[in-house]
Amino acid sequence: MDLTGKNLLGEAREYEETAAMKTEHCPRPSFHATPPTGWMNDPNGFSLYRGEYHLFFQYHPYDIHWGPMHWGHLKTEDFITWEMLPAALAPDKSYDYKGCFSGTALESDGKHILMYTGVYEEETEGGKKEIRQVQCIAIGDGINYEKSSANPVIDSSLEEGFSRIDFRDPKIWEKDGVYYSLAANRCEDGSGQLLLYKSEDLKRWEFCSALLKGSTEFGRMWECPDFFELEGKDIIIVSPQDMKAKGLEFHSGNGNMYFTGSFKLPEYTFQRESHGVLDYGLDFYAPQTLKAKDGRRILIGWMQTWDNYMTPDCFTWSGMMTIPRELTLRDGRIYQNPVRELENYRLKEVAYQNIRLQGMTQLEGIEGREIDLTLEFLNSNYDGFRLQFAAGGEEYTELYYEPAKGILTFDRKYSGIRRDVICERQISVKADGLKLRIILDKYSAEVFVNDGEKVMTSLFFTPLEAKDIRFLADGCVSMNIVKYDIAVNGESTYGA
């Protein structure tokens, strides 16, 4: 029994058990995480606990649109197949009845610790109701989680000028017996900043510093910070809202970016070095990472953003995660590649060596909506090259490369889309040695350029019968092509 006199978590668990079956008209992607039913946004609490990888997520089980936020729960052994677990949190307390917002997790003393944002309303002096965002802890065993009696462990009594309305998405970690938490906050000028706290017992938290400030250079309010070490550097990831476009580097709206640098204790400072964008596609937001058993740093993001809602009305679920990606660092830039575990699911290799393409070509064996396709360009003296995929009749989605301009365009205008959402993104990439690895999984294309130097992730909901792949060369393009089907066998992970 909770605040509402109902058992909200119990109800959600019961609902998702039966609703998860109903996917006849909306088959799930084969190897990307989706919600059992209803709406999914940000990844939450992506963590290793008792040797298994857990992924929680922002979840509204009852509708394919955002609503009162629960935490849904999935588990994976290899980042490719996902097992549904019962919902972990429901908005059932006085400090979180407006939503259990995003957060992170860690393992400590055999327990699974979740840190999340509780949202509630408070009456202000003028009698108006105003949102409050506070940081909370829940402790569990991998299935059931109990909210701490000390909640909210960080309330919204912040310094003058720090927003009490926009204060969320804590990233928790532990170092030398001390817990740290980094939460996103809005400054008086509307820009984002990250507030650092520390604690010895997870109950009492002390403010350390405003570790990093955006000062309107990178959007306004920042969301969903992540913090970790990669090859000797400290990395901070944020998802800034209200970005302004800058060349081909930043696009307007909800963005994503990272800073490399060094975190200093006990000064509680972060010395910035380089920064960059993680994903240049249309559908990527709020990523977070974990350290795998073998030491790899693995990132997963919400494969959607707030500005593009395209889920077909007949779907019983909405929202997907990206394929988890391995991160490496080269010259201050983060490189990302699909987890190597994907290779265990490759079937039916089709390869073409040094093939010369002119005009429109379809190649024997190269088609499909669940594939891993690599194109290695061997020359750069052509005028243009288009790869059309998920093609059938008049519908297709395409990648278009113009070597003279050095611009790669993703375009889903003709994917059969009926909503007025953004359809195009461009990145700059050199023609020499161009290499594209394209991962398709029914409704998504994740394009890894030049071994992970840049990534573009986007969705399209073209009917699944549209499976053709067309090569259109303006001039003569020579390339090596390798394609695999990705086949995930065995028990369906959602009971569908």
Min dist CB 195 to ligand FRU, Å, is: 14
- C-beta of 270 vs 285, nearer to ligand FRU: 285
Q: Which of 456, 462, 321 minimizes the C-alpha distance to 397? A: 462
Query: Among the residues of 181-278, which ranges form H helices?
Result: none
Q: Which of 236, 241, 196 minimizes the C-alpha distance to 216? A: 241
Number of residues that bind ligand FRU (CB under 6 A): 13
- C-beta of 30 vs 102, nearer to ligand FRU: 102
**3-state DSSP assignment of residue 224:** strand
- C-beta of 225 vs 338, nearer to ligand FRU: 225
One of 101, 167, 270, 280 touching ligand FRU (CB under 6 A):
101
Measured from each CB, the residue nearest to ligand FRU is: 101
d(CA 411, CA 304): 16
d(CA 213, CA 102): 20
Go through the chain and tell me how many residues it has.
496
- C-beta of 76 vs 239, nearer to ligand FRU: 239
Q: Which of residues 130-169 bind ligand FRU (CB under 6 A)?
A: 168-169
One of 23, 34, 35, 42 touching ligand FRU (CB under 6 A):
42
Quote the tokens at residue 200: 């010895």
One of 41, 304, 426, 458 touching ligand FRU (CB under 6 A):
41
- C-beta of 102 vs 288, nearer to ligand FRU: 102
Spatial neighbors of 263 by CB under 8 A, at least 6 apart, are 211, 227, 234, 269, 270
**3-state DSSP assignment of residue 10:** helix
The residue assigned the tokens 């309305």 is 165
- C-beta of 100 vs 298, nearer to ligand FRU: 100
What is the number of other CB atoms lying within 10 angstroms of the CB of residue 275?
Answer: 18
One of 104, 117, 181, 193 touching ligand FRU (CB under 6 A):
117
Min dist CB 184 to ligand FRU, Å, is: 7
**3-state DSSP assignment of residue 17:** helix
Site map (CB under 6 A) of ligand FRU, residues 215-254, x = contact: --------xx------------------------------
Site map (CB under 6 A) of ligand FRU, residues 260-299, x = contact: -------------------------xx-------------
- Do 248 and 232 contact (CB within 8 A), yes or no? no
SS3 content of the chain, % helix, strand, coil (to 5): 5, 55, 45
- Do 487 and 349 contact (CB within 8 A), yes or no? no
- Do 30 and 441 contact (CB within 8 A), yes or no? yes
Q: From residue 249, how far is each of 245, 276, 278 by CA, in Å?
A: 8, 8, 10
One of 34, 37, 58, 493 touching ligand FRU (CB under 6 A):
58
Min dist CB 412 to ligand FRU, Å, is: 22
- C-beta of 42 vs 96, nearer to ligand FRU: 42
Q: DSSP assignment, residue 246?
A: B
Min dist CB 169 to ligand FRU, Å, is: 5
Min dist CB 286 to ligand FRU, Å, is: 5
d(CA 202, CA 338): 34
Q: Does 69 bind ligand FRU (CB under 6 A)?
A: yes
Min dist CB 59 to ligand FRU, Å, is: 9
One of 34, 102, 181, 336 touching ligand FRU (CB under 6 A):
102
Which of the residues are catalytic?
Answer: 42
d(CA 469, CA 386): 10
Q: Does 186 bind ligand FRU (CB under 6 A)?
A: no
| Binding residues vs ligand FRU (CB under 6 A) | 41-42, 58, 69, 101-102, 117, 168-169, 223-224, 285-286
